[in-house]
Structure 1
Amino acid sequence: MLQLIVFLGLTTAIALLTWWHCRSAGRRGSDAKEYFLAGGGLSWVFVAGSLTLTNINTDTLVGWNGNQMLLVLWWELFGVAGLLLLAWVFLPIYYRLGCTTVTELLERRYRSGHLRATVATLFLLGNVFVFLPVMLYTSALFLQKLFGLEMSLMTIATLTAVAGAAYAIFGGLRAVAVSDTYSGVLLFGMAALVAVLALDRVDWSWSEVPAERLTMIGGPESLVPWPILFTGMILWQIYYWSTNQTITQRALAATSLREAQKGCYAAAVIRATLVPLIVVVPGLCAYQLHGPLGDATYGTIVGEVLPTGLTGAFAAAMVAATMTSFNSTLNSSAALYVCDLHQRYFNPAAAVPRLSVTVQVLFAILGVALVPVYIGAESIIQLIQELIGVFSIPILSAFVIGLLFDDVDARAVIATLVFGAVLYWTGTAGWSQLHAANPESVPHPLHFVHVGAITLLLNSGFALLVNRWGCGRHATLHRSTRS
């Protein structure tokens, strides 16, 4: 009963604080700017909070700790570079063009609304079919393990989706960003406490953890072989932090470019200092105590080390983290659909709030319905990284080509999106299946990060060839690139 009271009390407190802040801020700007960019009124504090909590959620804590090794830290450390590139390179461009969605940049560079709509559709497919159900699954799994709940994963996921969608549907991005920040204070405080208590439980020793789990130099068969640090890992970070609508939208909602950059710097500091503590230490401590546990690791160690009186507080923090990531993804998906698809092809005068509510309800239902697809995955976080490459690398190619070259036909880039998706899938899932069927004649597949780097290079060359020989246009380096 005490746990339940603490859980409900903290969850209600975050909701009330969010409502109070949004009510006192008032409304400003047009419907689309207000609903999807908070009227351009976020301070750097809320930009940093929303950037951090949109990224750090249950799939991160459950997934990275579930690998139970130090190597996964490279993904988080490279995220610092991704945030700095967002602040230094991409945000000045987005602000100069007055973008609401990142796809507006592509429309301006290629002078094609169809390309913008195509990339928006790819973003939506990734959000709805990968990110939303994974968030719901990992949060449901964590709560089930933490409390020993007899409810099914689907029931827990549904309740979480309903609560998370309420922020995005009724409050827009302003409510999402504010709740992210308040939730972040609670989550990081509780997650850091869990890490310290876990270290105390193992007497600050990982003597029973194999050396290969404590190294930062990954071998050829590891999750993070060291060569990928010099090939494609930074590409995933550029895509995620600089061209991904769900993330970039938070920085676009700041009061100014300078304020947005300050938010990115603050988020980078958090990622370099606090995030490593909470995403690997509990997992390694759990290995010291129990050996490999997979994605059940985090819920298990939290249930063991956290005092009973704080379990409800931690549950509130984890549910808040899931809801913030879930509602962030819902809000950005609605922005992509409304601004890039519906207003362009169906009804340019559609009422933004009403249409957004309908779209987000539909996306939330689809997210819940797809949860069973991910139940039982060997490593949920590794699965996410592999899946997003199918659309992230082709999308990143479109941005890279558009920023580096002038006079590129949009049709060549649309062809490249298809080419890149097929090429990446062939080099990852397709190759793996062939190797499994013929292990002696087909060599072991390359790491998916290597495949991503190769795909980006071949994609760029393919686009320029199609542009020259298929569309009859000769691309030239952009002026800023030449200088």
Structure 2
Amino acid sequence: MDRLALLTFIVITVAVAFFSWFMTRKEKLNTLSGFFFANRKLGFVSVGCGLLFANINTASFIGENELSFTNNMSVMAWGVSSVVAMLLVSEYIIPVYLKTGIATTPDFLEARYDKSVKTVVSLMFLLNYIISLLPSVLYGSAIAFDGLFGISEHFKADSWITLWVLVWIMGGLGALYALLGGLKAITVSETLLGFAMFTGGLLLPYFALKYLGSGDWHQGLQTVLTTKTEHLNSIGGAKDSIPFSTIFTGMLLVNLYYWGTEQYIVQQALGSKDLASSQKGIALAAFGKLLLPLLLNVPGVIAVHIYTSMENPAMVFSKLTGDVSPPVYSGYWGALLFGAALTTFNAGLNSSSTLFVFNIYKPLAIKNNWQNTEAACVRVAKRFEVLVCLLAMFIAPFIMFARGGFYTYLQKIGGFFSVPVFTILLIGMVTKRVPPLAAKFGLAFFIVCYGVTQLFFETGLHFLHILAILFLITCSLMLLIGRWKPMAVPYQLKLNNHVNIDPWKNRKIYAALLLLITILIYLVFSPWGLVRKN
């Protein structure tokens, strides 16, 4: 464990925490709007960085570099192709949310269907956060820090024990940060991290290439471009982790769900001061997603030329960073990974308590005459965050035993929650008379069928293709139920906006540029670009 690297990590982390506290010390956090939505006054830079860093965490760095190391760059599709979904969400879904003034995405489902649909979806979100999102962030963080700083090796501790200790340290710090700062503190630290990652953070590939080339980064680059170039291929085949065809089927649906429905993501956009700022922020986050292959995939490809084998491929990113970087830079990256983990973890905690308070506690409090003032609800929210955090900390270490690759495992588990919810949301937005019965049936049908295909029967199809097939079948069944038992009174969108809802005038020009860059990236990392036959 290098002391200079550790000292750099501590100094940067403390500085970010202090600056976040200083910038939010006068914020009113004893109100629901202040604690959950930063009083709805975030600018586009805060929204964009908030969206990006709520999305990126150590699981992304660990998981995507692992698959790039063991397979190829086809896994970059999760990030690069998400630009299409982000632009669609910006144009068609976020405007609806801001026009209706909702606090949570299930609020729209209540207005469109009924309260029971809202409650079911809220519980699905919470279950997803507790068993998948939050534990995976803690697990990925523990793996990253053990590899980066060599903690288990330095203390000669068992890796299992080290994993538990690091998970509980990260979980405790994350809970403390979320409880004291609310969404505003999270977005301030995310903005700082965005600047740090897309300036100094982008030097990582340079250090890795220099290490590979024995001090000459040009030689390292030449090695990567001329040997084992199959790892540079982003056009996945049938046997790759992400077949190229899945980008146009289930992956598009998962990304639409994620950017347009997932509470801890949408909540960043709901805190914007107006619709134009929200749309600019989404465009900024989309541009960030197009830069991220330099950090999420390229290091894993370079590592192929440095390490002949690795007992645990999940360690490849953190080990590479520690091996190729000067001590100060290793500490710098440690602070970035720590910050990325905390921001996603805190956003998940904040959104969990948002869902619980607005959609579960407040209705029960009103019904049973419990105390439900804003101050009381904030207290309940903080206690619930502590509970969720403890559950996630208990679950996280056991992800170590997941099969099929850490990142792929997470995406498969997410399939139980993602596309089913997006399906009923989409049908609710494009139709007026499909009844609540159809939404409840659609959720149950989709989840059961997906579970059967993943747990009991081998279909031979990629899970993303299965999600797309079930999406089409579920939509058809919901429309048939709508014809059979239509709502007596058609749904009408009711305006209740808290911010200006005039759209960003130049959004289509920037959308076209982002789509063009997306296509160019795929061309570069393809047989028509850098991939050559050895």
TM-score (ref. length: structure 2): 0.83
**Given the superposition, is the C-alpha separation of residues 376 and 210 from structure 1 closer, same or farther in structure 2, using an over 3 Å criterion?**
farther
Task: Please report how far the alpha carbon of residue 163 of structure 1 lies from its aligned counterpart in structure 2 after TM superposition.
Answer: 1.0
Structure 1 residue runs of 4 or more that deviate by more than 6 Å after TM superposition = 474-479
Task: Please report how far the alpha carbon of residue 209 of structure 1 lies from its aligned counterpart in structure 2 after TM superposition.
Answer: 5.4
- Residue 407 of structure 2 is aligned with which of 371, 381, 389? 381
Letter in 2 for 1:451: I
**Given the superposition, is the C-alpha separation of residues 19 and 214 from structure 1 closer, same or farther in structure 2, using an over 3 Å criterion?**
same
Letter in 2 for 1:163: L
Classify the secondary structure of the residue corresponding to 2:234.
coil
Letter in 2 for 1:353: V
Classify the secondary structure of the residue corresponding to 2:103.
coil
Classify the secondary structure of the residue corresponding to 1:375.
helix
> Which residue matches 1:414?
440
Task: Please report how far the alpha carbon of residue 86 of structure 1 lies from its aligned counterpart in structure 2 after TM superposition.
Answer: 2.1
> Which residue matches 1:266?
284
Pair 1:363-2:363 in alignment: no
**Given the superposition, is the C-alpha separation of residues 475 and 195 from structure 1 closer, same or farther in structure 2, using an over 3 Å criterion?**
farther
CA distance in 2, matches of 1:118, 1:446: 29
Which stretch has the larger CA shift, 388-397 or 311-320? 311-320
Tell me if structure 1 keeps the 8 A contact 2:349–2:385. yes
CA distance in 1, matches of 2:371, 2:49: 33
> Which residue matches 2:45?
45
TM-score (ref. length: structure 1): 0.91
Pair 1:217-2:243 in alignment: no
Identify unmatched segments of 5+ residues in structure 1.
433-443
Task: Please report how far the alpha carbon of residue 373 of structure 1 lies from its aligned counterpart in structure 2 after TM superposition.
Answer: 2.3
> Which residue matches 1:8?
10
> Which residue matches 1:278?
295
CA distance in 2, matches of 1:477, 1:309: 58
Letter in 2 for 1:13: A
Pair 1:349-2:372 in alignment: yes
CA distance in 1, matches of 2:314, 2:150: 15
Tell me if structure 1 keeps the 8 A contact 2:434–2:481. no
CA distance in 1, matches of 2:118, 2:491: 22
- Residue 447 of structure 1 is aligned with which of 459, 462, 466? 462
Classify the secondary structure of the residue corresponding to 1:96.
helix
Tell me if structure 2 keeps the 8 A contact 1:249–1:332. yes
> Aligned residue pairs: how many?
463
Tell me if structure 1 keeps the 8 A contact 2:112–2:491. no
- Residue 21 of structure 1 is aligned with which of 13, 20, 23? 23
CA distance in 2, matches of 1:353, 1:317: 30
Q: What aligned pairs does 1:34-433 form with structure 2 within 5 A after superposition? A: 34-68=34-68, 69-110=72-113, 112-150=114-152, 152-202=162-212, 203-204=220-221, 205-206=223-224, 210-272=228-290, 274-293=291-310, 294-346=313-365, 347=370, 349-350=372-373, 351-377=376-402, 378-432=404-458
CA distance in 2, matches of 1:158, 1:36: 25
Task: Please report how far the alpha carbon of residue 80 of structure 1 lies from its aligned counterpart in structure 2 after TM superposition.
Answer: 1.1
Tell me if structure 2 keeps the 8 A contact 1:428–1:451. no
Letter in 2 for 1:400: L
**Given the superposition, is the C-alpha separation of residues 100 and 140 from structure 1 closer, same or farther in structure 2, using an over 3 Å criterion?**
same
Identity of aligned residues (%): 31
Tell me if structure 2 keeps the 8 A contact 1:404–1:478. no
Classify the secondary structure of the residue corresponding to 1:295.
helix
1:49-69: CA deviations, max 9, x gaps? 111111111000111001122
Task: Please report how far the alpha carbon of residue 417 of structure 1 lies from its aligned counterpart in structure 2 after TM superposition.
Answer: 0.9
CA distance in 2, matches of 1:171, 1:222: 42
1:27-77: CA deviations, max 9, x gaps? 39x822221111101111111111111111100011100112211122111
CA distance in 1, matches of 2:99, 2:371: 24
Identify unmatched segments of 5+ residues in structure 2.
213-219, 494-534
Task: Please report how far the alpha carbon of residue 473 of structure 1 lies from its aligned counterpart in structure 2 after TM superposition.
Answer: 4.9
Structure 1 vs Structure 2 CA RMSD: 2.1
1:201-233: CA deviations, max 9, x gaps? 231122675444222222111111122122222
Classify the secondary structure of the residue corresponding to 1:370.
helix
Task: Please report how far the alpha carbon of residue 240 of structure 1 lies from its aligned counterpart in structure 2 after TM superposition.
Answer: 0.5
**Given the superposition, is the C-alpha separation of residues 57 and 292 from structure 1 closer, same or farther in structure 2, using an over 3 Å criterion?**
farther
Tell me if structure 2 keeps the 8 A contact 1:427–1:445. no
Which stretch has the larger CA shift, 454-463 or 329-338? 454-463
> Which residue matches 2:509?
none
